[in-house]
Structure 1
Amino acid sequence: MRDIGTVKKMAWRTPDLQNEQGMALLITIMTVALLTAVTLQYHKTTWDKYLASRNYMAGTQLTAIADSGINIALAVLQNDAAASEIDTLNDSWAVLEKEPFRDFFPTGTLKIRIDDLSGRLPINNIVQRTGSSGGQGQVTQAASRENRNIFTRLLLSGAFPMVEDETMAKGIVDAIVDWIDEDDRESDYGAENSYYESLTKPYSCKNKQLDYIEELLLVRGVTPALLFGADKNVGLAEFLTVYATDGKINLNTAAPLLIKSLVEPPIDDNVIQELDEFRKAKENEEQLANVNWYKSISSWPGDITLNESMLIAKSTFFQVTSTGTLDTLSRRMVASVARVSPDEVNLLVRKME
């Protein structure tokens, strides 16, 4: 029979044993939790590195695809120049967007679009220019005035709802004139240094020709919505170019809205539609070599004559948009090119978007 002392010792030991078992369980749980956290973090880090590596590889492939598209476009433009003396909407470069290029790449797809910049209004030519400033030749006072009028009518065409009235249109035109011309005199509705340097983040008026269309965002009155479009409205940038082929516009490829703005009063929409259909018809292609082909349209008003000294049938400047796609990823490269001869097509500027 155990004595009372022994029983008391056993009674005191039992709680100690339970505490030790509880501590061991707690340590085990904490260890498992720590290992789980470390494992999850390692998995996340590994997965992130995998995704980064995969995206880098995909990005490299997409860049190569898009760059290939630019080179293909240059070759197409060169071949087209050798095959034809004029440029129309039926040319190989104009329909290149329909080409699928399925067999060119084992993975990924390519889409190429070429737009004729010579079929747009040369915005730098709204300012009179002597000599060969900027390499774009002379612009007479009469030509600069004509370009301003065309630009004003384009702004008031109704395609740009943010341009509410003629006063606002003149404000935009004059502000761009002041941005480009070399003096510091403000036009009637324009803006010079006194305006730009009073802004919260001041900067100087350029007083030089535009190098990029995007520069217009620095000009008073020109908003991103106006320049690039918003809410399904077209953007002004689609009708303008900083390049000029002797300050002339290719009537064969110009946008219908720009053609409508060439004269005052603007030409009726039905006539413009017939004109567009006429120049797209293959059987009329030979007539497009002469800039007065528009007179062949039956509905053309006999009392309206376009200023044919501002029109051309052969283009020099083009914009190439090359888009590479791989699974859900895509990369777009935009380039401006100059076709100076059938043997020479120069890349002027290229950017990734």
Structure 2
Amino acid sequence: MKSNKGLALIVVLWVITLLTIMASSFALTIQRESAIISGIKEKAEAQALAEAGINYAVVMLFNTNAEQQWQSTNSLYEVNYAGKNIRILIADESGKVNINYADKQQLLDLLNFAQVEEAQADSLSDAIIDWRDKDDLIGLNGAEEQQYKDAGLKYRPRNNLFNSVEELQMVLGMTPKIYQQIEDMISVYTKKAAINPATASRSVLLTLPDATEALVDEYMQQRAENQRNKQAVVAPDWYNSATATSNVYMIISEAMIERGSTAATMAVIRKGQAKNGLPFQILKWVKDYSVRSLFLPENDQWIINSDV
């Protein structure tokens, strides 16, 4: 009899232990699912705010009040909307390396900045030129149709201008790593090889002849001060170049909500009457844009006007 009672007690204890484990597992599952749902909600909220930031930037960029109008000289702004912070970068595309018109040296300087090995940079720059030129003549270390066939690729060079910066990924020798490093430094929206330093990013400025980190950082500080004081932004004295703008702008909007969750949207717009009656045309729109966060502490010094 005592033996049966002992067995019954053991069974009860095992049942209690099993139920406790099941309850704990269920609670943990609920907790994890709640965290996932909360994360999805925060990401969606941040994405919506980032898109709102793009629209707000367009309004401020085209504001007819000169005192309130936002600038496009690689200008960083911070605003608060619905209790959340949004950082917005506006840059005229004239400050980028145009892969349709850049000469050999500009391409080499761009690839060298991305720390591409010298021989690889030489062949890749020639392959870029071969892709966009209208003939089938092979550059010294370039690539035309036969080289693409030999590499097992099912396409050949366009032999015409790049339609998009993404097309650069198809050039023989281009790797995902190299492309990722230079993606935000290149453009196809202007029609000149010359880079406008007044609208260029720090990365692009470092590719210019005679540029050093000290000279570039000093110039960026002065440029930021000029923007804050509503003064004209001029080219640095160590780089002789025109500061013509393009009327095509890249806008990056990044929103931050609780626990540091962020989301970024990027748009490229062209100023001018569009078919839908708007005073601008959207050329590109990228959700979940992969970008080095605008909220990094190192970017605090570049904010032109904080409304937070």
TM-score by length of 2: 0.72
1:51: which partner in 2? 35
8 A Cα contact 1:248 1:312, kept in partner: no
1:139: which partner in 2? none
8 A Cα contact 1:77 1:339, kept in partner: no
1:346 and 2:287 correspond: no
Counterpart of 1:204, as a letter, is: Y
Tell me the percent identity.
Answer: 22
1:131: which partner in 2? none
Q: Please, which runs of 5 or more residues in structure 1 have no aligned partner?
A: 1-16, 85-89, 126-146, 230-235
Pick one of 86, 90, 93 that aligns with 1:110: 86
Change (3 A) 1:206 1:21: farther
2:138: which partner in 1? 186
Paired residues for 1:207-226 under 5 Å: 207=158, 208-226=160-178
TM-score by length of 1: 0.64
1:162: which partner in 2? 116
Counterpart of 2:76, as a letter, is: E
Counterpart of 1:42, as a letter, is: F
Classify the secondary structure of the residue corresponding to 1:322.
strand
2:264: which partner in 1? 332
Per-residue CA deviations over 1:224-246 (Å, capped at 9, x if unaligned) read 444444xxxxxx34442121146
| Whole-Å separation in 2 of the counterparts to 1:49 and 1:284 | 50
Per-residue CA deviations over 1:205-237 (Å, capped at 9, x if unaligned) read 3415434434433323334444444xxxxxx34
Classify the secondary structure of the residue corresponding to 1:243.
coil
8 A Cα contact 2:165 2:186, kept in partner: yes
1:66: which partner in 2? 50
Residue 163 of structure 1 and its aligned partner are, at CA, apart by: 3.6
Residue 78 of structure 1 and its aligned partner are, at CA, apart by: 1.5
2:106: which partner in 1? 151
1:314: which partner in 2? 245
Q: CA RMSD in A?
A: 4.0
1:195: which partner in 2? 147
Counterpart of 2:142, as a letter, is: G
Pick one of 111, 117, 127 that aligns with 1:175: 127
Per-residue CA deviations over 1:315-334 (Å, capped at 9, x if unaligned) read 32221111111123111112
8 A Cα contact 2:72 2:90, kept in partner: yes
1:250 and 2:196 correspond: yes
Pick one of 108, 111, 123 that aligns with 2:99: 123
8 A Cα contact 2:72 2:92, kept in partner: no
Residue 339 of structure 1 and its aligned partner are, at CA, apart by: 1.6
8 A Cα contact 2:251 2:266, kept in partner: yes
8 A Cα contact 1:252 1:279, kept in partner: no
8 A Cα contact 2:198 2:233, kept in partner: no
2:298: which partner in 1? none
Residue 123 of structure 1 and its aligned partner are, at CA, apart by: 0.8
Per-residue CA deviations over 1:97-139 (Å, capped at 9, x if unaligned) read 243x23x222x321111122122222123xxxxxxxxxxxxxx
Classify the secondary structure of the residue corresponding to 1:124.
coil
Classify the secondary structure of the residue corresponding to 1:162.
coil
| Whole-Å separation in 2 of the counterparts to 1:330 and 1:275 | 30
8 A Cα contact 1:120 1:249, kept in partner: yes
| Whole-Å separation in 2 of the counterparts to 1:260 and 1:37 | 60
Classify the secondary structure of the residue corresponding to 1:252.
helix
| Whole-Å separation in 2 of the counterparts to 1:49 and 1:286 | 53
Residue 199 of structure 1 and its aligned partner are, at CA, apart by: 4.0
Counterpart of 1:154, as a letter, is: D
| Whole-Å separation in 1 of the counterparts to 2:40 and 2:114 | 40
Aligned length: 279
| Whole-Å separation in 2 of the counterparts to 1:258 and 1:45 | 48
